[in-house]
A and B are shown apart, each in its own frame.
Chain A
Amino acid sequence: MPAMLRNLAQRLGMMAHSFVGGIHPPQHKLSAGLKSELCPLAPLHIMPMKQHIGVACSPLVAVGDRVLRGQKIAKSEGYVSVPVHAPTSGRVVRIGDHAIPHPSGMGIPSIFIETDGDDAVDESLAPLADWRSMEPALLRERVRMCGLAGLGGAVFPTFIKLVQDARFPIETVILNGIECEPWLTSDHCLMLEYADEILAGLAIIMHMVKTDAAIIAIEDNKADAAAVLQQALEARDDLADVRVVVLPTRYPQGGEKQLIYTLTGREVPAGKLPMHIGVLCQNVGTTRALYQAVMQGRPLTERMVTVSGDAMPRPGNLLVRIGTPMRHVFAQRGLDVFEQVRLLHGGPMMGELLRHPDLPVVKSTNGMLAMREPTFMAAHQPEQPCIRCGHCSEACPAGLVPNLLADQCRSDQFERAESYNLFDCIECGACSYVCPSHIPLVHYFRYGKGQIAQQRREKHFAEESRGRSEAREMRIEQEKQARAARRSSVRAAHVGQSDDGSADAAGEEKKD
C-alpha cells in the first residue's frame, strides 16, 4: 500500500513514462551542427593498458617494435576486458606508467608510440560483408577483438552486452543518441554525418541479438539529427520495425535506466541488467564503431571528441586518434595557454577535472572542455549547511533522498546509507546541481560507496584468513591425534615418527 501511494505521489502530474526528477541545465552546445574535422596525427601517442571498465591489458609489443595502425598491441587479461590497438603506424619507444584521465591521477602502464607519419594500416582483419549469414558468436568475437567498449563514456566492453541468454531474449534494441550532457555534441555530429553507418551497425546488432524491433532515441534539441536518421531509415528496407523517437530535453535522459523507462515504461530491477527485461542499449558512437569493426575490419583507433568550453577559442568536433595527447587536440582549436583555465574530461555533469593537458585521449573521451576559472569556481562554492529544501530529492532520477544519504555518508553510517539505497545512485549530479547550499552530494556518495566497498573487501579477507587458520588448526589437531594413535599402537619400535610428523605440519604451513 505505501508503495502504491508513493507511486501515485510520484506520478501525479507527470506524463506517462517520464522518468522522475531531472533538471534542465543550460545546453551550451556551441559545437552543435559544426562539421567534424580530422585531428592531425600527433608526433607521439600514449596508449594506456586500461581504457575500459574491467581488467587491464598486458602489452604484446616491446620497445623498438614497429607497429601498424589497427595492430593489436595489448591483449585482454580477463573476461571483462578488451584489447588495445595501435592508433597509427610508428615505433614503440617506451613502455611505462603514464597518467590517464581519472580522478585518482594515478599512472597506469602505457605504450608510447612515436608516429612515423605513414599511417600504414594493419590489414589482417578481413571485412565481414556477409555478416547476415554469420553466427552471432563469431560477430561477437570480432567486436571483442576490435576493442569496442561503450563510447558514451562508460566504456563497458561491448561484446559482453551482446552475449545472448536463452532465458532473456532481447526484444528491443535502444540506440542511445540522447547526449544529455551540456556542451557535448560528439554523438550529435556522428548522427548528422554518419547516419548510414550507424544504421548499418544497428542492423548488425539486431541480427546478433535476433530481434526486429529497435528505437533510436534523440533529444528534441537535436531535431536535425532525428530528421537525418529518419531519412536514412526510410532508404533501408531491412529496418522496417525501427522507430526514431524524439524526447524532451531533460538531464539525465541519456542515463541507460532512465532512457529505458521513458521508452518502454519498464524499469530495470535493482541489481539486474537491461537484458533481464529484454532490452539492449547501445550508444550511437559505439554502434558506428561496431559497423567499422564488422564491415571494414577496423579496430577502434579513433573517436569523435567534442572540444569546447567557454575558454575554448574555437569549439568543434574532432575525429581524434585514441592515444593523442590532449594538449595536441586543444592546440588544434587554438588553446595552448592553460592559465586560469580548468580542463574537464567529459561533460560538466559527470566528467572529471583534469590536472593538466598532458593526458591521452582514451576510449571514453566524448568531450574535452576548457572552462574559465570563474565559471568553474561558481559551480564549486563553499559548502553550507543543508536547509532541507528537498530540491535534491525532487531532482533525483533514482528516487533517492540525497540530503539524508549525504548526512549518513558524512557521518560514516554506512549500513544506514545502504538501507537508503546508496548503491542505486547513478552519480548523475542532478542533486548537487540544484543544491542551494552547494553541498557536494555526489562526492559524499562516492566516498560512502568507496568505504563500503573497502569494508566488504576487508571483511571478505578476514573471513578467508579465519577460514584458513581454522582449517590449519583442525589439520594440526588431526595430525596430532593420528600421531598419538600411531604412537600408542607401535609404542617402542619407531621413535623418530613424531619428528617426521611435525616436519609435515610445517610444510603444510608454508603452503598456506
Chain B
Amino acid sequence: MLLMLSSPHAHGGDTIRVMMLTVILALLPAAAVSVYLFGWLALLLILLCMAASLATEAVCLKLMGKPLSTLLDNSAALTGLLLALTLPALTPWWMAVLGSIFAIVLGKQIYGGIGYNIFNPALSARVILLISFPLQMTSWLVPMSAATPPVDLYDLSTCLTLFFAGPDALKSSLDAISMASPLGHVKTEWTLGVPVEGALAAYNYSYLNAFLGFETGSIGETSVLALLIGGVFLLARHSITWHIPFSYLATVALLAALFNAIDPAHFAPPMFHLFAGGLMLCAFFMATDPVSSPVTPLGQIVFGVGCGVLTWSIRSFGGYPEGAMFSVLLMNCAVPLIDHYCRPRVYGHDGRRV
C-alpha cells in the first residue's frame, strides 16, 4: 500500500541538528576566551559537562524507549556547553556532573524531552546548583588576565588537581585564589554604605577590560566581545531574531540610565549593567532558547522587556548580585500566556478592514 502523504511535497532543509550546531558554533568565541582566562580548568569543565549531558541524555532515551539517534540532534551537547559556560571556574568535577544530570533530567527529559520543557535546561540546573552549593557557586577564581594570578592555570596537572581534588590539595583555600566579581563587589560595598562610583574605583574596574572579558565571573560570561560575535553570527544565520536580545538589553540599559541619572550613588550606570555578569550570555543564548521563549515577534519583545525589568530589579534591589538567570527562568513561566495574547494580526481581521 502506497503511503499517502499530504502537501507540501517540498522542504527547505532546516533541521534541529543544524540549528543546535549553529548555536554551539556561536558559543565557540566565548568558550575560547574562557580557556584563555581559566586555562585547562575551563576546558575540563566544558568537556565534562558536555560528556555528562550526553551520557545522561543517552540513559534517559534508553529508559524512555526512544531511539539513541536522538542524541545526534545536538541539543544535549548544547545544554552541556551552555551549563559549563555559566559555571565558575572553581566548580568541582562532581558538581559539574550533578549539574549536567539536573539539566537533562529535571530541565528537559522529565517534561518529555526536547521541545516540551518549560524552563531553559541549562539555567534551571545552574539555579539548582546555586541554591544547593552557594559557597562554591559564588567563589570566583582569579583569572590568568590578572596582574598576579595565584595559580598557573595553563599547567595541566595543577588544573587536574584543582578540578578533581579541590583547592585544599594545592595547600590553598577557596579564599586565597578567589576574588569578588564586579557585580558582587558593588552589591557588597553598597550594603556597607560605599557608593557605586567608589566601589568601582576600588575594584579597579575598566569598561574596556569588561568588554574584552578580562574580569572574573562564570567562565563563559565574561567577554562581551566574544558573546556579541556569537550573537551576530546567530542573527546572520537567522537562528535567532533581534526581538529578544534587543528588547532585553535595551530595557536593562534604559532602566539603568534612568535610575543612574536619579541616584548615581545607588544605581550603577547602564554600561556597567550591560557588560556585567551573565546578561550578554542570557540575552543572546539563554533567553533566545526557542523551546522556552515565545514564538511570535511581539511576544518575544514582551518577553525580552520582562527579562530586562527583572534582571535590573534583582541586581538593584534583590539579595543576589546577579539576576539575569532568575529573570529568564521567571519569564519562561509566562511564555504560554505571552504567546496567547501576543499573536500576530490575522489577515482580514481587525483594523485595515475596508
Contacts and interface: CB of A to CB of B under 8 A. Distances in A.
Nearest to A24: B12
Interface residues of B, number: 47
Given A267-B352, A378-B11, A424-B348, 6 more contacts: A3-B350, A353-B7, A355-B4, A385-B112, A390-B300, A433-B10
B107 to A, nearest CB: 15
Contacts of A404: 295, 339
Nearest to A277: B354
A48 B78 CA distance: 56
A436 interface: yes
A387 B354 contact: no
A257 B304 CA distance: 33
Contacts of B6: 103, 352-353, 440, 442-443, 446
A182 interface: yes
Given A105-B4, A267-B354, A9 B339 contact: no
B10 A9 contact: no
A378 B15 CA distance: 12
Nearest to B243: A9
B19 interface: yes
Given A20-B344, A433-B8, A388 B350 contact: no
A432 B354 CA distance: 31
A387 B10 contact: no
Interface stretch (A33-41, A235-243, A296-304, A343-351): A343-351
Contacts of A277: 354
A385 B114 contact: yes
Contact of A429 (B7, B16, B352): B7
A427 B8 CA distance: 9
Contact of B346 (A379, A424, A427, A440): A424
Given A105-B4, A442-B6, A388 B352 contact: no
A269 interface: yes
B14 interface: yes
Contact of A399 (B294, B339, B342, B344): B344
Contact of B14 (A7, A391, A401, A420): A391
Contacts of B353: 267, 269
Contacts of B10: 25, 182, 348-349, 379, 429, 433
Contacts, number: 181
Given A387-B115, A389-B290, A429 B354 contact: no
A211 interface: no
Indicate the member of A3, A7, A277, A401 with the most B CB atoms within 10 Å.
Answer: A401
Contacts of B297: 9-10, 393-394
Contacts of A391: 14
Interface of B: 2, 4-12, 14-16, 18-19, 73, 112-116, 241, 290-291, 293-298, 300-301, 339, 341-354
A266 B116 contact: no
Contacts of A427: 7
Contacts of B19: 387, 389, 436
A58 interface: no
A351 B7 contact: yes
Interface residues of A, number: 75
A401 B12 contact: no
Contact of A433 (B11, B113, B114, B301): B11
B296 A401 contact: yes
B16 A432 contact: no
Interface in A436-456: 436-438, 440, 442-443, 446
A403 B339 CA distance: 11
Contacts of B344: 6, 9-10, 20, 393, 396, 399-401
Contacts of A3: 345, 350-351
A384 B16 contact: yes
A160 interface: no
A424 B349 contact: yes
Given A10-B297, A385-B116, A388-B295, A432 B346 contact: no
Given A269-B348, A399-B347, A424-B348, A390 B295 contact: yes
B82 to A, nearest CB: 15
A30 B115 CA distance: 39
A166 interface: no
Contacts of A421: 346, 349
A95 to B, nearest CB: 28
B11 to A, nearest CB: 4
Given A10-B345, A350-B8, A436 B291 contact: no
Interface string A259-293: 00100001111111000110000000000000000
A221 B241 CA distance: 29
A10 B241 CA distance: 13
B295 A387 contact: no
Contact of A379 (B11, B16, B241, B350): B11
A371 interface: yes
Nearest to B297: A9
A4 interface: yes
Nearest to A6: B345
B8 A429 contact: yes
Contact of B9 (A2, A266, A371): A371
A378 B300 CA distance: 32
A349 B115 contact: no
Ranked nearest first, the 4 interchain pairs of A and B with the lowest CB-CB distance are: A429-B8, A385-B115, A390-B295, A270-B348
B347 A267 contact: yes
19 contacts: A7-B351, A10-B345, A266-B354, A269-B349, A350-B8, A353-B6, A371-B9, A376-B9, A378-B11, A384-B114, A389-B290, A389-B295, A391-B14, A394-B297, A420-B343, A432-B11, A433-B12, A440-B5, A442-B6
Nearest to B240: A389
A399 B9 contact: no
Nearest to B67: A382
B290 A437 contact: no
Contacts of A2: 341
B295 A380 contact: no
A56 interface: no
A299 to B, nearest CB: 30
Contacts of A379: 8-11
Nearest to B350: A3
Nearest to B70: A384
Contacts of A378: 11
Contacts of B11: 378-381, 432-433, 435, 438
B2 A355 contact: yes
B66 to A, nearest CB: 11
Contacts of A420: 343
A270 B350 CA distance: 9
A387 B16 contact: yes
Nearest to B1: A355
A427 B293 CA distance: 26
Given A376-B9, A420-B343, A429-B8, A387 B348 contact: no
B347 A424 contact: yes
A319 interface: no
A397 interface: yes
A73 interface: no
Nearest to B302: A5
